[in-house]
A and B are shown apart, each in its own frame.
Chain A
Amino acid sequence: MTTAASPLLDVTGVTMRFGGLTAVNNVSLTVGEGEIIGLIGPNGAGKTTFFNCLTGLYVPTEGSVRYRGTVLPPKPHLVTQAGIARTFQNIRLFSNMTVLENVLVGRHSRTKEGIFTAILRGPRYHRAEAESREKAMELLAFTGLAEKADHLARNLPYGEQRKLEIARALASDPGLLLLDEPTAGMNPQETRAAEELVFAIRDRGVSVLVIEHDMRFIFNLCDRTAVLVQGEKIVEGDRETVQNDDRVITAYLGAPLESAPLEGTTPAVTESDQ
């Protein structure tokens, strides 16, 4: 399925250890231009840790993460600068800022006005500010929040807070968007809307890597899906491949009979590409 000659995101052999605990073990993954990739796994499988390795919150113990061919710097703001934006599993909006201000903060890495420009307020400042506002309003219109630009972020309903987080992430003009459980706590209609939104984001030319528990959501959406179990990637592929894989079924539902749930599966798999 990987079509691009040089993938947008190239993760090779990432391992993350906390003391004696190996949270992520030798995981490789690629995301091509315009792809939507899913990442699933039971609770505690290391999905979020893996995400944090991509966004510069953690520095992987081993392995490397390359974005457009260059190794990512180990600082969150530099990663965003490079072109990877993210949302959070538990919504982390700037809740006492307005909706518009939230998105404007997202523009931070794409604007340069410093403190003296702000004090002097020359024509350049006004131009940059107007540009940022225009871009932000465009994104709010894209996510359907334009009418609520002046509301406080905390006053939005839950589903719209999720949308705002996505708009804020898109404000940094990313090439790759990382979504951490974007439909957690949503009802079916909202989940459907979120699906549409992710497709629309892909149509803007942004690749998406999404962590999710909602299988239907993932399989509707993703070109490929990787399954993480106990820190290791056990399988990656399209819907059929993943759904019919015994190890995935074992990991989610337990082993059919006598053998202990995960013992039999994990050591057997080291390289799991189909």
Chain B
Amino acid sequence: MTTGTETTPVIPLPRPAATALTGLGALLTAASAAMSWTWTSDFPGDLTYYGSPAGLQWLAVAAGVLTLVLLLATHGTPGLRWAAPARSNNAVLYAATGGLAVAVYAVTAIAVELGGLANLDPGGWVLAAGGLLGVLGALGLPLDRRTAVPLRILDKRLFLLVPAAPLGWFGAHAIPGDQPVAPVMTALSGALAIATGAVLLLQLGHLANSGLRLGKIDRPLPAPRELPSWAEVLLIVLAFGLGLFAITFGIDTEYGELFIGYLLLVGPAVAAIATSGLLGRLRALTVKYRPVTTGAAFAAAASFPFTQGSDQYTSVATNILIFATVALGLNIVVGLAGLLDLGYVAFLGVGAYAAALVSGSPASPIHVQFPFWAAMLTGAAASMVFGVLIGAPTLRLRGDYLAIVTLGFGEIFRITMQSLNGTTGPNVTNGSNGIPRIPDLEILGFDLGKTHTVGGIELGRFSNYYLLMLLVTAVVVLVFARVGNSRIGRAWVAIREDETAAEAMGINGFRLKLLAFALGACLAGLAGTVQAHVSYTVTPDQYTFADALPPNSAFLLAAVILGGMGTISGPLAGATLLFLIPKKLEFLADYQLLAFGAVLIILMRVRPEGLIPNRRRQLEFHEAEIPSQPTGDDTTALTKAGA
């Protein structure tokens, strides 16, 4: 199933012309940022100034510079060769695509929001031209391509939707608005339109795939230049600093338009950097200096509050950390042990409720105030007990049955918390009012609720909690990494792969599954104790199965699957995205969930194995694309029938 590869341009252009065109496009894209894109400051970010880029314009600068650097590096410009060790023009194309995406989006957004292309200033036109020229030029460069990609046509019946959509629109408008069926018809025509769009987009994707035939050629990378070890360590630190900057930029985007532009650029840019071979180089370095890498990652995360002027985004970051930590806990259960848990948020809830009850809140029926460490242990222990109690009867089930039962238990937790209100049960949790006024934590005389000044930088309440939560995350990461790569972790993966075979290897399936459940619950409970204090209040409604905003069970599972099952960085990245996307898309109002769903579908279509896949999962989904390994001398016919 391995198709051949070749290095040819898509558009036949003379090589120098293509290079010049790409360079010109990149330069124009970057330069447009110094010009005014639109005449009015009505567009968010105020893009009206000459000589002072803002908002979306910075993205154009980034795209232009990245394209230019990769172009020069691929052509072997002395001093820049380090930027593209793989020497693949595909990287240039991806970077140029990022520029075009930003350009198209910016121009469209300006035209739609301000009403027409007339609102574009020269800068906008330069940007559009730059983006277009860059991609056209890059398509003229010799690209790595597969020789044959069969054209896939979707099921012909799906195309019946295309005429159905306008018919539905007419139908919806033919019915007067006061008819009772009118809203139904409107919804129906809307759904038809979306489905039609999806079919057309998908077919377009297939057409582009078979037309462009972009592929990957594994060239032997030139040996990296020998650097003194301090320089290599410095490179790692630098890379993490850049990573922190990129993520901070995403979190700090003040308006939705900028965030969408950011996402549109980040996708192709990451692809470009990966294709250029830079990411591979960096990975080799991080493997070489593992402790330094871990330290740098931790330091980069810890320095986030110091880059912020106010608490506005540290609160977002704190919530991202809580969400990500719980997702990592779920990854033990789902990613390692393969147990589909649809009620996982309940464990976060148990931890939060336990911490709230012993927090000294005046609303808590137990009038005690545990010191922080004791509260944390209480929360984690309560969660673990709950995990064992739920797991013991349910883990005898497999697959879908387990998923349904955990879903049920998740809801049982929420409803129980609602019912323990004094009327329908003993008063423990105040029912749906929850436990409010949870006091701020005080650790060794350090009040996390107050603003402190460290080194001239003010750290507000959320910054304090962010740093505390970061410690919890570090603990969870440590536990995941060490347990995952041990006898226990191997047994979990074995159970996930084939439970019958695992038991035949002497693994007590039930006990180990219970252990995974308990450990996962315990880690979620740990995060819950912090969450209770961060959010002042715990209510049952925070712990539902599905909701528009994380954390809830559905989002947690999505974060794990989207990020990559069985890895550490996967769920962290997935959780960050899943938290930011709905948050930043709030300006879309009614269409928020629709857009969110579309983003999820696109992500899963492009990377079914998750953003940062486990090596194993990557092989699972892309086996056909990976050249089959030489299998020694006795490559016998593989009659792998069940026999």
Contact = CB atoms under 8 A, between A and B. Distances in A.
Interface of A: 55, 57, 75-77, 80-81, 85-86, 88-97, 101, 104-111, 113-115, 117-119, 121, 125, 128-129, 132, 151-152, 154-159, 168-169, 171-172, 181, 184-185, 187, 189-190
B405 to A, nearest CB: 23
Given A115-B488, A118-B483, A77 B643 contact: no
Interface residues of B, number: 44
Contacts of B486: 113, 117-118, 125, 129
Nearest to A172: B506
Contacts of B617: 96
Contacts of A157: 631-632, 634-636, 638
Interface in B596-643: 616-617, 619-620, 628-629, 631-632, 634-643
A121 B640 CA distance: 41
Given A77-B507, A81-B506, A157-B631, A92 B620 contact: no
B519 interface: yes
A105 B643 contact: no
B478 interface: yes
B638 A108 contact: no
Contact of B505 (A80, A89, A129, A187): A80
A108 B483 contact: no
Given A94-B497, A113-B486, A80 B636 contact: no
A61 B502 CA distance: 25
A114 B508 CA distance: 13
B504 A86 contact: yes
A110 B487 CA distance: 11
Nearest to B487: A113
Given A96-B493, A96-B497, A132-B487, 8 more contacts: A57-B500, A97-B494, A97-B616, A113-B486, A113-B487, A158-B638, A171-B505, A181-B643
A268 B504 CA distance: 37
B489 A172 contact: no
A187 B214 CA distance: 40
Interface in B476-493: 478-479, 482-483, 486-491, 493
A190 B515 contact: no
B427 to A, nearest CB: 37
A76 B501 CA distance: 9
A93 B637 CA distance: 19
Contact of B483 (A55, A107, A119, A159): A119
Contacts of A96: 493, 497, 616-617, 619-620
Residue of B489, B632, B636, B640 with most partner-chain A CB within 10 A: B636
Contacts of A90: 642-643
B623 to A, nearest CB: 8
A118 B489 contact: yes
Nearest to A152: B619
Contacts of A81: 506
A237 B628 CA distance: 46
Contacts of A171: 505
Nearest to A102: B494
Contacts of A190: 634, 636
A114 B506 contact: no
B636 A109 contact: no
B434 interface: no
B500 A92 contact: yes
Contact of A115 (B483, B508, B641): B483
Contact of B506 (A93, A108, A117, A118): A108
B482 A106 contact: no
Main secondary structure of the interface of B (DSSP, over half): helix
A156 B490 CA distance: 20
A97 B638 contact: no
A74 B640 CA distance: 31
Nearest to A94: B497
A97 B497 contact: yes
B484 to A, nearest CB: 9
A187 B620 contact: no
30 contacts: A77-B503, A91-B640, A94-B498, A97-B497, A97-B616, A105-B491, A105-B494, A105-B502, A106-B506, A107-B487, A108-B507, A109-B507, A115-B483, A115-B515, A118-B483, A119-B479, A119-B482, A128-B487, A129-B486, A132-B487, A151-B629, A154-B619, A155-B631, A168-B505, A171-B505, A172-B506, A181-B643, A184-B643, A189-B634, A190-B636
Contacts of B642: 90
B488 A118 contact: yes
Contacts of A128: 487
B23 interface: no
A198 B64 CA distance: 65
A179 B635 CA distance: 24
B509 interface: yes
A115 to B, nearest CB: 5
Contacts of B640: 91, 158, 185
B508 to A, nearest CB: 5
Given A96-B497, A157-B634, A158-B640, A119 B478 contact: yes
A105 B503 CA distance: 10
Contacts of A77: 503-509
B482 A118 contact: yes
A77 B499 CA distance: 11
A76 B523 CA distance: 31
Contacts of B636: 157-159, 187, 189-190
A55 B501 CA distance: 11
Nearest to B639: A185
Given A77-B507, A96-B497, A118-B483, A185 B643 contact: yes
Nearest to B635: A157
Contacts of A156: 631
A105 B483 CA distance: 14
Contacts of A55: 504
Nearest to A128: B487
A75 B508 CA distance: 9
B574 to A, nearest CB: 20
B639 A158 contact: yes
A33 to B, nearest CB: 22
A116 B416 CA distance: 33
A122 to B, nearest CB: 11
In the A-B complex, the 5 residue pairs with the smallest Cβ-Cβ separation, listed nearest first, are A109-B506, A118-B486, A80-B506, A184-B643, A94-B497
A223 to B, nearest CB: 25
A88 B501 contact: yes
Contacts of B628: 155
Contacts of A76: 500, 503-504
Contacts of B504: 55, 76-77, 80, 85-86, 88, 92
Nearest to A112: B487
